[in-house]
Amino acid sequence: MALIGPAVLCVFSLAFLWAWVIERRRDYLLLLAAAPALFAVAVAIQVSFWPPSVPANALLSGLFYTAAVQIAAEGVLRRSGKRLGRDWHIGAFAAVMGGLWWFAYVTPNLLARVYLQNFGYGLVLLVASLHLTHLMRGRPVDRVLFWVLFAFGLHFFPRTLLTIGLDSPGDVRVFQDSLFWQVLHLSLAVLGAALATALLAATLSDVIDDLRRERDSDGLTGLLNRRAFEHRAGAVLAATGDAPCALLVCDLDHFKRINDSHGHAAGDEVLSAFGKLLRRVSREKDLVARIGGEEFAILLPGAAQAAGLGLAERARSGLAGLVFSFAPGGGAVTASFGIAERQPGDTLSGLVAHADRRLYQAKASGRDRVFADDTVEVPAPERAEAAALATGSIPTPR
């Protein structure tokens, strides 16, 4: 029975190691591979009675048990970008190992060592789970992972109390045939396998999500690419019915001239900076995409045309203030914008065509302009009139 848990966990150790070989950037997988291996070593030390001295055996096996639990907790946390911290781990390790040394050499007490290790390890895992409460608001696999980790940490307390109570187990060899010992390894095998399975499933989900992000993202700007924008925007329009929805399309003016005069590195610098600017001036729920070479689009769910005009003005003003390495004085890049508001029965392609027509009007009128339906907002000094957009008043062309 004592070998069931280590055998199962060794299989998972190899699985995590294999996952790390495939996904080396996920360093936490190495910790998750090391933890079950260390636990298996600890069990082997206890079962083999090596070293034969009871205090030395307790201390050496305890060292591997403690390291396994702390490394497992740290691995689970690092997957979510969190850590318990070096000082916390040093303190926890010193407390457990110091207690084991005291109850092995100074005041030998097997029952005290049992409670110290089980309650200590349970506490470490519970603390780790409390750092991951945000997972309860995440994907189903993340919620499962949280509850499995929480149950794993919590089970140390009732299991120890119910299977060993307050009676000293006596001789160590008799202790390894006790109910506590058998239930301990059975529960560790079951819950350990459940935790490892949840972690592997979560890791697989992470990889799939990363692949989806790479598929849906523009490599240079990090915005949505055209395919992802069309898919998500179509879904938003279908879900929102006839609710207001504005679409903004924009095009960097004379972009080919930038590439021809300053090189493609300069063009990439402009695209990357403009993508960051669009994301900064947009709302979190807006869909921001690069849909062509120097073309961008923003879908504003629940927003009318005036909101699109305000966003376009913020983007145009922000672009005028950007300084690029090839133009230290700034103001070298402008953009033209076209805005359309969804009308009843509009499809995404119809809305895009409507906004494109306004964009072409803006470019034909001299560029660095924003067109929405039959109105145009022109550069400074009239730019200040954009403040009226907040009240829904749209400036007329001059």
Please name every residue paired with 288 in a beta bridge, in sequence order, or none if there are none. 298
Cα end-to-end distance, the chain, whole Å = 87
- pLDDT at res. 332: 76
Q: Is residue 277 predicted with pLDDT exceeding 80?
A: yes
Domain for residue 396, yes or no?
no
Average pLDDT for residues 12-26, to the nearest whole number? Answer: 93
Residues 211 and 230 in one domain: no
Highest mean pLDDT among 5-19, 74-88, 332-346: 74-88
pLDDT number for residue 243: 87
Specify if 236 maps to a domain: yes
* DSSP annotation string for 212-278: HHHHHB-TTT-SB-HHHHHHHHHHHHHHHTTS-EEEEEEEETTHHHHHHHH-HHHHHHHHHHHHHHH
Q: What is the mean pLDDT of the chain?
A: 88
In a domain, 194, yes or no: yes
Average pLDDT over residues 356-369: 93
Tell me the residue type at 219. G
* 101: pLDDT strictly greater than 70: yes
Residue 254 sits in the same domain as residue 210: no
Number of domains into which the chain is organized: 2
Same-domain check for residues 131 and 258: no
3-state DSSP call for residue 289? strand
The two three-digit tokens of residue 342, written as one number: 């969804």
> In this structure, are 251 and 197 located in the same domain?
no
| Phi and psi angles of residue 164, each rounded to the nearest 5 degrees, phi first | -125, -25
pLDDT of the residue at 178: 80
Percentage of residues in the chain with pLDDT exceeding 70? 90
Candidates 187, 206, 208; CA nearest to 198 is 206
Domain annotation covers residue 104: yes
Tell me the pLDDT band of 46, cut-offs 50, 70 and 90: confident
Which of 165, 197, 216 is the last residue in one of the domains? 216
What was the pLDDT predicted at 169? 67
pLDDT at 397: 31
d(CA 199, CA 129): 13
Residues 18 and 50 in one domain: yes
- Identify the pLDDT of residue 167: 77
List 296's β-bridge partners, or say none: 250, 290
Asked if pLDDT for residue 172 goes beyond 70, the answer is no
Q: Does 60 share its domain with 201?
A: yes
Say whether pLDDT at 136 is over 50: yes
Last residue of a domain, one of 186, 216, 246: 216
Look at 2-6, 166-170, 184-188, 378-382 and tell me which has the smallest mean pLDDT: 378-382
pLDDT band at 381 (very low <50, low <70, confident <90, very high): very low
**Residue 24 above 80 pLDDT?**
yes
Three-class secondary structure of residue 280 per DSSP: helix
User: What distance in Å separates the CA atoms of residue 69 and residue 82, rounded to the nearest whole number?
Assistant: 16
Q: Looking at the structure, do residues 172 and 290 belong to the same domain, yes or no?
A: no
ω into residue 395 within 30 of 0, thus cis? no
Of 27-31, 167-171, 292-296, give the lowest mean pLDDT range: 167-171
Q: State the CATH number of the domain containing residue 160.
A: 1.20.1070
Residues 177 and 90 grouped into a single domain? yes
Which one has a higher pLDDT value, 380 or 394?
380
Average pLDDT over residues 147-175: 86
Q: What is the pLDDT of residues 235-272, one digit of tens each?
A: 999 988 888 999 999 999 999 999 998 999 999 999 99
Q: What pLDDT does residue 375 have?
A: 54
pTM exceeds 0.85, yes or no: no
**Catalytic-labelled residue, pool 294, 313, 341, 377:** 294
Same domain membership, residue 235 and residue 184 = no
Burial (Cβ within 10 Å: 0-12, 13-18, ≥19) of residue 262: middle
Residue 284 annotated among the catalytic residues of the structure: no
State yes or no: pLDDT of 346 exceeds 80.
yes
Task: Answer yes or no: is 398 within a domain.
Answer: no
Considering the domain architecture, whether residues 208 and 303 belong to the same structural domain is answered as no
Which of residues 166, 181, 216 is at a domain's end?
A: 216
Residues 209 and 234 in one domain: no
Q: Residue 397 falls within a domain, yes or no?
A: no
The CATH code of the domain that includes 373 is: 3.30.70.270
Q: Range of 188's domain? A: 4-216
User: Do 36 and 90 belong to one domain?
Assistant: yes
Residue 138 falls within a domain, yes or no?
yes
CA distance 206 to 78: 13
**Percentage, residues of the chain above pLDDT 90:** 72
Please check the confidence at residue 86 and state whether its pLDDT lies above 70.
Answer: yes
d(CA 241, CA 44): 64
